[in-house]
Amino acid sequence: MRHVVRIDTEPLQAAIGWLRRGDAVPVEAGLGAAWQARAAGWRDDPAVDSACCLSTSSLLGGSPIEAMLDRLETLGRLTQDRLATARLVLVEALANAVLHGNLEDRAPRDGTAQHHARGVGLCARRDGEAMAFSIVQEGPGLAGLAARLSAAGSRGDTADPLEPGGLGLFLIARLSARWAVDEDGRRLTIWL
Amino acid sequence: MTIDTQLQTETNRLIVTFRGTMTFHDYGASDALLDRVVDQIGASNGAIDLLVFDLAEVDLIDSHWLGMFVRALKRAQEKGAKVALRRPQPSVRRLLDLVQFGRVFDIQD
């Protein structure tokens, strides 16, 4: 039986433990009721294989992505090639949510306690033959994210590698089967 | 920190060896490393004319660090040095090809 667990000591390491076991959706204790509700929704969705909700401060110290992907590998959801792609794309999406979303483009050391307390949710859900990964943040929505992803995906082979701006979005757009932006730019879903 | 770095000089080369996963979690480390590398090239008064990033023990590089490589290239060139990316693992090599770094970096397998 899967359940939602509130974790309040060393949240990242605790979440990684729960994600590897695969029988819970861990939620960092300091996050608000909305995150508990979101986690409960993921818990109740039988297509969800792995999910967690952590604060920005925890995610600046490390990543739950490896544990989530290890779980998906155990379940046989992704081939080795797709796992490698998922790893890079999820790192880019998480960086986008943390640095540009919750921290509003501040360097981590310049973020306030309020910025660092904001949550990020990650969810891996089966969708037919594909896996859909959702990354949700609670900062101001990223205005124009969909337009910038569209533009990044159409960036041609003649693009100048010496102008690396938007490279993260380029990698997301180019390496994913498709993507969607919801919740006023706070939720990015990537299909692999 | 998810990445370890080691600097060493060999005749005309400054070699930066990375070990681990190069992600945004090392946000501040990349800028500090870049400053240190450029300072070392500048202090050599032209004796160092090649900056090598050794990637043999790196399993993932994200866009933040790719951007650092580009900044390093621009600043090293200002000091008269070239930049090479050495021994990328196959998955990293595919990434470097995707972002077309071979057009501006010397990539040494």
Every domain of chain A and the residues it spans: 3-191
- Interface contact flag, A167 B23, Cβ < 8 Å: no
Tokens of B5: 């770095």
pTM of the model: 0.93
Quick one: angle between helices A80-95 and A65-74, nearest 10?
150
Quick one: angle between helices A167-175 and A145-153, nearest 10?
70
Nearest chain B residue to A62 by CA: give it: B25
Output the CATH code of domain A3-191. 3.30.565.10
Partners of B64 on chain A (C-beta within 8 Å) are 95, 168
- Interface contact flag, A60 B28, Cβ < 8 Å: no
The B-side interface with A (CB below 8 A) comprises 2, 23-25, 27-28, 60, 62-64, 66-67, 70, 73-74, 91, 95, 98-101, 103-104
Average pLDDT, chain A: 92
ipTM of predicted assembly, 2 dp: 0.90
Rounded distance between C-alpha atoms, residue B27 and residue A191, angstroms:
27
**Distance in angstroms between the alpha carbons of the first and the last residue of chain A:** 27
* pLDDT tens by residue, B36-74: 999 999 999 999 999 999 999 999 999 999 999 999 999
Tokens of A90: 């999820």
Nearest chain B residue to A82 by CA: give it: B91
- Interface contact flag, B91 A84, Cβ < 8 Å: yes
Partners of A88 on chain B (C-beta within 8 Å) are 60, 62, 95
**CATH class in words for B3-108:** alpha beta
Tokens of A17: 């433990």
pLDDT by residue, tens only, chain A of 192 residues: 578 998 888 999 999 999 999 989 999 999 999 999 999 999 999 999 999 999 999 999 999 999 999 999 999 999 988 999 999 999 999 999 999 999 999 988 889 999 999 999 999 999 999 999 999 999 998 888 999 999 888 876 656 777 777 889 999 999 999 999 999 999 999 999
- Interface contact flag, A162 B70, Cβ < 8 Å: yes
Shortest Cα distance, chain A CAs vs residue B6, angstroms: 22
Nearest chain A residue to B23 by CA: give it: A91
* pLDDT tens by residue, A49-105: 999 999 999 999 999 999 999 999 999 999 988 999 999 999 999 999 999 999 999
- Interface contact flag, A170 B99, Cβ < 8 Å: yes
Tokens of A173: 């757009």
Shortest Cα distance, chain B CAs vs residue A112, angstroms: 17
